[in-house]
Each structure stands twice: as C-alpha cells, then as structure tokens.
Amino acid sequence: MQTVIVRLVDNDGQLSTPYCTLSDHTLPVKDIICGLGAFPTCRVPIASLDHSVKTLLTSFCFPKPISSTVWDITERLFFAASLDGSIYQVNLFQQRTDKHARQTIETVRGAGASDIIRVSDEDNSS
C-alpha cells in the first residue's frame, strides 16, 4: 500500500523515502483524514478495524471496529463510524474546574504512558 501511494504522488516514478510509516495498528487501516493546515502540522486521525482511531499523541479505543472518521469544522471533536453504522462523537477538549473554582478548557489526553482513551457505547450518538 505504501509503495502505491508514493507512486501516485511522485511524478517521475521513482520510489521516494516515505515521510512516515503507519505501523501502530494491528488490523487494516480504513480511513485517514487530514485536518486544517499543511502536512505535517495538521492533525491526522487514522481509523482502523482494530477498534481504534489514533492521532500523533493519543489512541482512542472503541467497542466496535471503526471504518471512517470525519472532523467537526472547528476540529474540536471528530465523529467515528463503525461498520454496523454506529456513530461516536469524540470531544478533544474538556471543561475543568481548578482548585480555585475557575473554569478552564484543556485537551483530552490519555492518563499515562499508553495515552489510550476508551470510548464506550454511551458515547454513541446514533
């Protein structure tokens, strides 16, 4: 697959060194979407049949295999669709109250070295 993509974007037909290799998924990748901005600074969620959507810093684990994703126009959340038609809404920011009772907004991230966030069927918006 990697060779095919390189040949599609390389006009002279020579194989180029890839910018990056996607190797974190254990089952086939079904969808890759680029966010706003130029690559490589844009956000790129990658959906797989291994029940996950991975970004550079975080993995989101779903109860079902994920076949496609789409960004909200503000990129504050994305939607992930499973093969059976279930749709999950994943917020990338959360409101938090600090020790002085002030409301702040922070990014959602995993709770440790693995940076895995589990998304349940309760997060299913369909």
pLDDT digits (tens, 9 = 90+) for 104-125: 777 776 554 456 788 887 766 5
Sequence ranges of the domains in the chain = 29-113
Phi, psi of 5 (to 5 degrees): -65, -45
- Chain centroid to CA 5: 20
Spatial separation of the C-alpha atoms in residues 11 and 120, rounded to whole Å: 44
Spatial separation of the C-alpha atoms in residues 62 and 59, rounded to whole Å: 10
How many H-runs (helices) and E-runs (strands) does the chain carry?
1, 10
Spatial separation of the C-alpha atoms in residues 61 and 51, rounded to whole Å: 6
pLDDT digits (tens, 9 = 90+) for 2-24: 444 555 555 666 666 777 776 78
